[in-house]
A and B are shown apart, each in its own frame.
Chain A
Amino acid sequence: MFSETIELRGHIIDSLILPKVLDEILSRGANFKMLEVKIGERRADQSFARIEVSAPTSDALSDLILRLRQHGAEVEEKGDAQLAVAPADGIFPADFFVTTNQQTFVRNNGEEYEVRPAMMDSGIAFDRATKRARTVRFADLRKGMEIVVGHQGVRIVPVQRVTERTDVFQFLNAMLSAERPKGAVIREIAREFEVARKTKQTVLVVAGASVIHTGAAEYLEQLINWGYIKLLFAGNAMAVYDIESTLFGTALGVNLEHAALTDSGHENHMRAINVVRSAGGIAGLVKRGTLTRGIMHACVTRGVEFVLTGSIRDDGPLPEVITDSVEAQRIMREKIEGVTLALLLGTMLHSFAVANLLPASVKTVVVDINPSAVAKLTDQQTFQALGLVTDIEPFLRELVHCLEQLRTEPK
């Protein structure tokens, strides 16, 4: 929505100018918010109203404002965003504007420019030559960049609540505890997946190692094979256990069929890492014909992009793992552009890292057995976050089941 603030002064109540202006706004499909009204006390006193007018397009707004000016509306002078130069690489000027994950505009020479991508906990760099406003993080900040400081000239547009239909994200920022039935919600999530696939949207999955430990790998593999997932973020562990389970039937030595430790099972993940390293990477292992199924296999064969990032407890790591966390963050940020639906599965810290990068417009589903992990993400994170407290395996199994039904439904 595009908006301007107008002011009306004079005998706007007796002359019915105020109702006329408000009616005009509504009758042209625009909206208003009364910011301030002061009614004159005595007969000769003038009144005052400050009104925020918003319209779906910039043109519609200017047409409307032009008409309202005829009735005496004055457009409030909005100042440009204040800019200050970054004093050194990686250092913002004092009082730099810190972004939220909501759609944000900055004003320069009276014109508004959208800040891209919408990402929280960043600064805003504005390039006067190209008129580009973009979010920058410490690592990308270079000496001399012009950075928005203070709050003047910055406008944040909250995500509009969906009103035209009830979708699962009507549970906005809601959390379904372990005691609540989840079938209906998972069915809805399945519908979102189906819509996303049909309309070629990008669905991101962030998967923790628990996906493998709980025996849910085959369902995630299925989702990838069906073409629902376009992007996978995971740690070294998830990929290692996925490959270990494919090669040895265990995850960290635990037999996934019988849920029992196998003899010398603790060696398996090390052997798996070694095999991958010797093949030059996961793709090499697939090419060699050694890796024939599993999540990583599906990613390679289906061309699903994956970003594996490391941590200090990693064994190996696998050759694809990015161990520089600043670099990892940069790559994830790049890949995230265009994601519309994100599924965060059983990994609290990795989910936080991703949630921090997502614009508020992305629908996010958080699944974790740990209620506090889900609560933290749904409370802190995006506007459209839905949390489910459950084990990963039953969730994914049910999701795959629902999708199977949707796929076989007569058209």
Chain B
Amino acid sequence: MRELLLCAPDYYGIEYEINPWMSRARGAETELVKSQWQGLHKTLVALGAKIDLVPPQPKLPDMVFTANAGLTVGRQFIPSNFRHQERAGEAPHFARWMESRGYEILWLPKELYFEGEGDALFGGDALFCGYKFRSDIQSHRAVADMLGCLVISIELVDPRFYHLDTCFCPLPDGSAVWFPAAFDEYGQRAIRGHVSDLIDVEEEEAKTFCCNAVVLGRDIVLPEGAPNLVRTLESRDYRCHQLPMSEFLKAGGACKCLTMFLPQREKL
């Protein structure tokens, strides 16, 4: 059974603007927020996932996006160093919670920005890491040192897809869903060199954050609005669970941003 960390959206709202999706003029509707988040929670439980909840904190609206808490491998947790001051306050809460659950905390040097699972996804035996908008490439090297695994660093070039998990989603059969234009030419080549079976997503569907999906075996939980991708995935025997995510998209997040795997990998 997969274990996932979520955070209830009690304090969620658009209170600052740190990516192109955010606009304080376009706030989230509280009732919809609640029902959309509960929809995700219910779906994940129904798919057999064990859900842990970290207590939300006032004045930290984005804590709901637990994927950016850090990266968990086995019993080790590498907390994020957030680039934006607005989110930096989340880190100690996540670290304390993880510590209380018995995880060993591996802190990165303070000067290296790293935004956890949002920018670090395992595909095969490699850890794919995005850099530039949020994480620094220097943090990838430190993560590789800590974990002793191959890290593929990929430059993100489209500010709308500022985290790796907004444009890249590895699948358990060794393939991956991606939006190629979110990466520079070298990043695209590096991904192609390590993932032989890639499912391209067109821009219209990528904008619905369909790559921001939670993959639980053959079940894929993704935001609604990407019929072509859903068709492709279903033809490959995946079961797609499409959820409304409009209120979280206003902050530049969706299903995957709202969850963190505990752990993402049992062992390397």
A-side residues, CB < 8 A to B, are 9-11, 14-17, 19-20, 43-44, 46, 70-72, 74
Contact = CB atoms under 8 A, between A and B. Distances in A.
Contact of B141 (A19, A44, A72): A72
Given A15-B154, A44-B148, A72-B140, 20 more contacts: A10-B140, A10-B141, A11-B140, A11-B151, A11-B152, A14-B126, A14-B194, A15-B186, A16-B189, A16-B190, A16-B193, A17-B137, A17-B153, A19-B186, A20-B184, A43-B125, A46-B144, A46-B145, A71-B155, A72-B153
B77 to A, nearest CB: 20
A43 B144 contact: no
Interface in B129-167: 132, 136-138, 140-141, 144-145, 148-155
21 contacts: A10-B137, A10-B141, A10-B151, A11-B151, A11-B152, A14-B150, A14-B152, A14-B190, A15-B151, A15-B153, A15-B190, A16-B186, A16-B189, A16-B190, A19-B186, A20-B186, A43-B150, A44-B144, A44-B148, A46-B144, A72-B138
Nearest to A42: B150
Interface residues of B, number: 25
A242 to B, nearest CB: 70
Given A70-B137, A72-B137, A10 B144 contact: yes
Contacts of B155: 20, 71
B141 A46 contact: yes
Contacts of A44: 144, 148-150
Interface string B48-67: 00000000000000000000
B144 A11 contact: yes
A70 B144 contact: no
Contacts of B132: 70
A41 to B, nearest CB: 13
A11 B153 contact: yes
Nearest to B125: A43
B112 to A, nearest CB: 11
Contacts of A46: 141, 144-145
Given A15-B152, A15-B154, A9 B186 contact: no
Nearest to B127: A11
A74 to B, nearest CB: 8
Contacts of A20: 155, 184, 186
A44 B150 CA distance: 4
Contacts of A74: 138
Contacts of A14: 126, 150, 152, 190, 193-194
A72 B152 CA distance: 13
